[in-house]
Amino acid sequence: MRSSVLSFTLMAGSCLAQGDLVGLLSSQSDLSTLVELVALVPGLAETLSAASNITIFAPTNEAFAKVPRNEPEGAAIEHRNETIAVAALLANHVFKGVYPSDVITNVPTFAQTLLNSSYITPTQPFSNITGGAYNGLVKNGNDVCILSGEETISTVTQADIKLGEGITIHTVDTVFSFGPPLQLWTYRAAYRAMNAALEAANLGFDVGLSGPDQKGLNISDFTIFIPTDAAFESIGSVLETADLETLQQVLKFHIIPNSVIFSPSLGNVSVPSLQGTNLTFTVLPDGSAWFDRSSLKPSAAVAERLSFPSASSVAVLPFTSVAFEGDTMTYTSTPRLLQTVAAVATSRLDATATDSSPPLATYTGSAFSLGGSTAMVMALAVGVAMLLV
């Protein structure tokens, strides 16, 4: 726990007297659970009160009551006995930078939190993205919403509570979720082909797990494009006869190392994949996006855009082993907001464009930016950004 508390202190930035954070939170009758949890982390209230240029999203009592008690953070909330999980949960609600409600638009802004790699339990790291995990901010009609792990959407219920000049507080109706391990997310979201392909490929890394069962290097700062089950089925005849090296190369082609790239940061550029070959991104005027070889014709039929033109579809893929099989949590449908929100401002389709909704005052650091945008990010995993293709 010592390292987690230290990380709050180191990341607090320049210290400017802001006021009594606990006193302000205590004045809100629906934030008593948050006040109790803050008290579990020694020095946290004082450190945050002295911080400059941060935004705190404060879950209400009802929001905390909804957290499943079979999750690490839910058990910590219930029993008040796991300070690492509590500290990680709170850090995930503190954003670097000032984000008043009026700077949030219908184009998602992905902002870093204070949830860094120091929050680790015997079974999982809560984040290992350099500089802190990301959550998304987006306008949904008249509401300001936050996108976090497990396809969770939280809505601001009271906006722009000020504590001095450096701290902005918004209350929210749902506690932010952590990004689950990569293969656990693919299982819960029913992208079983990707799950099974990763299991079979034995790439030598894992994402979001710690402990003796971890398969290899726990990578961070990666962007992964996840093919749908239909995409795998369309090249099924190739996969049936593919050797291990071919499968590994195909999967590595969908991974960008050393960069966390969200959908509003895609543009008309090329970046190297883990496989070594460049991925060429094309963002069209209508906001749709494509990536593959530079000769790709986006208007062509799916069958004409296969990486293996001679491949034929199969009904049953050759992969048989699925990680996390039997997990009881599943996403029955994609939240409506993730289906309808405008993830791209089509007027920003240049390779030098930056995020259209920066904070008014920046805490530190920024996301890797390519400019432009396309499909909505579906989930945030520990150490990676994931997009569907």
Q: Which pLDDT belongs to residue 338? A: 78
**347: Cβ–Cβ under 8 A, 6 or more apart, which residues?**
none
Average pLDDT rounded to a whole number, residues 282-304? 62
Q: Out of 26-30, 82-86, 134-138, 328-332, which region has the weakest mean confidence (pLDDT)?
A: 328-332
Give the CATH fold of the 182-388 domain. Answer: FAS1 domain (2.30.180)
Pairing state of beta strands 54-59 and 94-96?
antiparallel
Provide the 3-class DSSP secondary structure of residue 32.
Answer: helix
Identify the band that residue 153 occupies on the pLDDT scale cut at 50, 70 and 90. very high
Is the pLDDT at 364 greater than 70, yes or no? Answer: no
Q: Which pLDDT belongs to residue 137? A: 95
pLDDT tens-digit series, residues 317-328: 888 898 888 888
Average pLDDT rounded to a whole number, residues 90-97? 95
For the ranges 2-6, 19-23, 284-288, 306-310, the one whose mean pLDDT is highest: 19-23
Cα(16)–Cα(365) distance, integer angstroms: 20
Is the pLDDT at 90 greater than 90, yes or no? Answer: yes
Residue for token pair 């809505």: 155
Q: Which residue has the higher pLDDT, 130 or 385?
A: 130
Please give the mean pLDDT across all residues of the chain. 77
Identify the band that residue 116 occupies on the pLDDT scale cut at 50, 70 and 90. confident
Q: Which residue has the higher pLDDT, 168 or 206?
A: 168
Strands of the sheet with 270-272, listed across from one edge: 270-272, 278-283, 289-292
Is the pLDDT at 128 greater than 90, yes or no? Answer: no
Residue for token pair 């506690």: 175
Is the pLDDT at 134 greater than 90, yes or no? Answer: yes
The domain limits of the chain are: 182-388
pLDDT tens-digit series, residues 246-257: 899 989 989 988
Cα(278)–Cα(299) distance, integer angstroms: 21
CA distances from 250 to 190, 308, 380 (A): 20, 11, 22
